Amino acid sequence: MPDFKQNPRPKQIYQLTLTIANAPGSLASVEGVMQFDVVTPECLPPPKENGGMPWSVPTHNFPITWTRISDTEYTGLVYIDGMLDEDYYGKGMCHWKLIQARADLKATGANGETRFMPNIEPDKLLAQQAQTTYFLKEFYPRNPDIENYPEFGQADRSKMAPSLKDDDLFTVTLTSKAATP
């Protein structure tokens, strides 16, 4: 695998504000990642160099550093141009694209707790729009059936069971704002 490189001087920077509302308890562990994928598969070696199988699309994640503003609000920076486009395989320029910025929240950070994982996609991030994700309170702080349960939530409240009341849910909103380098 080539040594994929982060952009040391990104210019397309957005500040994300993460806001938690109506959670059943604290979400004191806040982490997250920016996910980048290569969007030019023609830069990858031919399948014959991989035993006849197509190469997996390269993906690279690096962390979002969140700053605590209050018990329910954090900020972090996301870089649209966070990866360097290069000819990593000798087959042509590999272009990277931000696929998502995602938070990873847990009650305390202890092993086994549910991982509440809201995300915001690049189109909303670039448009400086907010993305609200709904989560079931019943999975806080742990899903009783699954350790380290990855709960992605639902961005469209209307797609959730009609029997769910607002008291059964909490939200995490990611709001984007352009920042200066």
Is residue 86 exposed (0-12), middle (13-18) or buried (19+ Cβ within 10 Å)?
A: middle
Cα–Cα distance, 10 to 4 (Å, whole number): 15
**Spatial separation of the C-alpha atoms in residues 103 and 32, rounded to whole Å:** 4
**What pTM value is reported for the model?**
0.94
**pLDDT tens, N- to C-terminus, the chain (181 residues):** 899 999 999 999 999 999 999 999 999 999 999 999 999 999 999 999 889 999 999 999 999 999 999 999 999 999 999 999 999 999 999 999 999 999 999 999 999 999 999 999 999 999 999 999 999 999 999 999 999 999 999 999 999 999 999 999 999 999 999 998 8
> Which of the 8 DSSP states describes residue 122?
H
